[in-house]
Amino acid sequence: MSDTTGQDQQQNMRRVAMTSLAGTSIEWYDFFLYGTAAAVIFPKAFFPQELPTMVLLIISFSTLAVGFLARPLGGIIFGHFGDRIGRKRTLVVALMMMGVATTLIGFLPTYASIGIAAPLLLVALRFVQGLAIGGQWGGAMLLVTESAPSDQRGWYGAYAQAGAPMGVILANLAFIGVSSSMSDEAFMDWGWRLPFIASIVLIGISMYIQLKIEDTEAFRSLSDAQSADDKPAAAVERSPVVEAIRKYPKRIMLAAGAFLSVQVTFYILIAFVIAYGMNSPSVELSRDTMLTAVLVAAAIMVPTQFYFSGLSDRIGRKNVYRWGAILTGIWGFILFPLIDTGDPVMIGFAITMGLLFLGMQYGPQAAYFTELFSTEVRYSGASLGYQIGAILGGALAPTIAVLLWNEFGIFYVSVYIAIAALLTLWSLSQLEETKGNSL
């Protein structure tokens, strides 16, 4: 009987992990699709063409930042309901919001058709994307980590985290597949819309989660305990977000600081380097060359991320995370000289190693952030730390990188990466090791 129960639990854990991977992959696909389009499509489709190329890039990447501005708000809203009504239901709503918003971007008229209304609508839908991704991460991450055995929390948390590189792979595959199947004129005219419209599949995944996946044991236990108590717990009376801020203000901000290296470097590696490779006078590479390099690098990041997440179950979250930040800061000074060679192999190697070092941080992060907060405010606390780090680190990373490159030279983009790594290392030094903590 116990063997059967154990097999059922293992089978359910695998189903939860794979469903989380599928949902986060498509969700991040939608979010990163915008990032790729901001470097390649939107400067020409949604803004006045009389502006210089560099100005168009800066404006386009600035609309990318709107999604980041919305992410903390999404984390607050979905964190509140995730700690109140459960991880699963809030995740379903976040996935459906993302699917609808991204599909609508695929149907937007261009600047040539409706003028200034085009970028305004684009920004509005990007804001909805930000709300959705702000709520999705906490739900998907907790659905996996709270269900996982304590000695495998890092490994299973990697399923939720793997959605980010998988989203990059899917987004770049979509653009490469569509652009290679038609002329450049057709791609810029209407072909770019197809990858956005395809995200309607996310609505189907959200319905599957609603019908087939149970909420986590940790949340159900908390809910049962509160229901059985004659006097409702303070966490029920008070907003979970307010309670998280009251209980863990320092920990939330340190978690945000620990995320800076990942966010700054990740968006430079998947968005800015594409624009740099296509527009640098010393390189002038094709769109497909840069997209392929990012795609291959993201594909290699996935298994290495699982490895380092599993390693954190054995030697601790902070040890793996710390070395990832150190190597990321150093690699920033090697990245652009390798891209400047113009050799596709060297470019692929440069981006791959950068994403590999990021995987050392991002992989264990799900388990680490889960273990930093107590169950009644875990969705809110983890989401706030994650999303504040995202807005401080990732929101303007491509825009700042373009400005530094344009005003001072590409070396200062490497300095930017190194400063983010140093801030992450300091934040980690103020946080405790959490491996083995009970949930």
Domain ranges of the chain: 11-214+234-430
In this predicted structure, the answer to whether residue 275 has a pLDDT above a threshold of 80 is yes
In this predicted structure, the answer to whether residue 6 has a pLDDT above a threshold of 70 is no
In this predicted structure, the answer to whether residue 438 has a pLDDT above a threshold of 80 is no
pLDDT over 90, % of the chain: 30
In this predicted structure, the answer to whether residue 425 has a pLDDT above a threshold of 90 is yes
Q: Over the stretch 61-83, which tens digit does the pLDDT of each residue have?
A: 888 778 878 878 887 887 777 77
Query: HEC string of the chain?
Result: CHHHHHHHHHHHHHHHHHHHHHHHHHHHHHHHHHHHHHHHCHHHHCCCCCCCHHHHHHHHHHHHHHHHHHHHHHHHHHHHHHHHHCHHHHHHHHHHHHHHHHHHHCCCCCHHHHCCHHHHHHHHHHHHHHHHHHHHHHHHHHHHHCCCCHHHHHHHHHHHHCHHHHHHHHHHHHHHHHHHCCCHHHHHHHHCHHHHHHHHHHHHHHHHHHHHCCCCHHHHHHHHHHHHCCCCCHHHHCCHHHHHHHHCHHHHHHHHHHCHHHHHHHHHHHHHHHHHHHHCCCCCCCHHHHHHHHHHHHHHHHHHHHHHHHHHHHHCHHHHHHHHHHHHHHHHHHHHHHHCCCCHHHHHHHHHHHHHHHHHHHHHHHHHHHHHCCHHHHHHHHHHHHHHHHHHHCCCHHHHHHHHHHHCCCHHHHHHHHHHHHHHHHHHHHCCCCCCCCC
Structure confidence at residue 217 (pLDDT):
60
State the Cα–Cα distance between residues 264 and 50, nearest whole angstrom: 30
Q: Residue 1 — pLDDT band, cuts 50, 70, 90?
A: very low
231 burial type by CB count under 10 A (0-12 exposed, 13-18 middle, 19+ buried) = exposed
In this predicted structure, the answer to whether residue 236 has a pLDDT above a threshold of 70 is no
Q: Of 24-33, 83-92, 138-147, 151-160, where does the model show the most confidence?
A: 151-160
- For the chain, state the CA radius of gyration: 21
In this predicted structure, the answer to whether residue 234 has a pLDDT above a threshold of 50 is no
Structure confidence at residue 232 (pLDDT):
47
In this predicted structure, the answer to whether residue 404 has a pLDDT above a threshold of 90 is yes
CA–CA distances in Å: residue 267 to residues 187, 227, 342: 24, 44, 21
2-40 and 87-105 helices, crossing angle to 10°: 30
Q: Which residues, 6+ apart, have CB-to-CB distance to 35 below 8 Å?
A: 64, 171, 267, 270, 271, 398
Least confident of 146-155, 326-335, 426-435: 146-155
Structure confidence at residue 86 (pLDDT):
66
Q: Over the stretch 171-198, which tens digit does the pLDDT of each residue have?
A: 888 888 888 888 888 888 888 899 888 8
Q: Residue 259 — pLDDT band, cuts 50, 70, 90?
A: very high
The model's pTM is: 0.80
Domain 11-214+234-430 belongs in CATH node 3.40.630.30? no
Mean pLDDT across 254-266: 94
Q: Which residues, 6+ apart, have CB-to-CB distance to 429 below 8 Å?
A: none
